[in-house]
Amino acid sequence: MDYRRLRKLNFEQKNNKIYLREDIMNKKILSVVVLILFSTFSFAITVYADRWSPTEDWGPQVESYSPDWGRTVMYEYTDSAYNLYVSPQARFNFTQDAIDAIRNDYFLYYTFDISVVDESCQGEGCNTTVSALNTTMYYSTLPSPHFDRDDDPEPWGNGYYDETEVTCTSSLDMYANTDYRFDSRFRVYFTDPITFEFTSQMSHYNYYTHEYDTWYYDIHKTRNYPWY
């Protein structure tokens, strides 16, 4: 009998058993890691699920240029990196009298504004809860829309954009009993309570800043965020 060959065979069998035990152990560890990751992912989906607020309407308004019916809602969502966003949105329509009032203001333009009011401080420029995204992310059905965002009070803002606007630059293309919309978007940095104001404005074009500045305004609705 070749004892050297026998010892070698026994040694290889022992090594195979060791490798087999290590392979089983590695598979168990991998299974535990996968389970933990899946549980974490499921929890994240639950926490950051997209959601809509209840709708709230406004009725007849005082100012002649204001829409006499409107509906507001907020949509909260996340991106792939779980950054949080909120999109305050408004739908509204005008009577023929309101359309006539807008068209008769030859040097002014109708604007819809969605802005932040931070209840934790007094005055403008102290909001650090949200900041409006770039205007390319906004949507409106107003004719010839011009989008803008501002870091109030200009030019001494704090780096957080508080105000979003859409201005209709073609008043003659606005019509009564037509559904108009404005959807703006904000990045949410903290969930401290803030308030969004939904406002109609008449604005004049500033040839120095190339912006549409508020001439007068009418606040239709305020909505608290977070609403839940």
Does residue 48 carry a pLDDT above 70? no
Whole-angstrom distance, CA of residue 54 vs CA of residue 120: 24
Quick one: what percent of the chain has pLDDT higher than 70?
75
pLDDT digits (tens, 9 = 90+) for 57-66: 999 999 999 9
3-state helix, strand, coil in the chain (%, to 5): 25, 40, 35
Query: Which residues fall within 8 angstroms of residue 143, CB to CB, at 6 or more apart?
Result: 168, 169, 170, 173, 174
Please measure the distance between the N-terminal and C-terminal CA atoms of the chain and give it in whole angstroms: 83
pLDDT digits (tens, 9 = 90+) for 65-79: 999 999 999 999 999
Q: How confident is the model at residue 38 (pLDDT cuts 50, 70, 90)?
A: very low
User: Residue 24 corresponds to which tokens in the numbers above?
Assistant: 């089983």
Structure confidence at residue 18 (pLDDT): 45
Per-residue pLDDT band at 124 (split at 50, 70, 90): low
Pick the CATH number of 50-225 from 3.30.70, 2.40.350, 2.60.40, 1.20.1050: 2.60.40
Q: What angle do CA 163, 70, 83 make, to 5 degrees?
A: 45
Q: What is the pLDDT of residue 214?
A: 96
* pTM score of the predicted model: 0.78
For residue range 197-210, what is the model confidence (pLDDT) as tens digits? Answer: 999 999 999 999 99
pLDDT band at 6 (very low <50, low <70, confident <90, very high): very low
pLDDT in tens, 142-199: 999 999 999 976 777 788 999 999 999 999 999 999 999 999 999 999 988 999 999 9
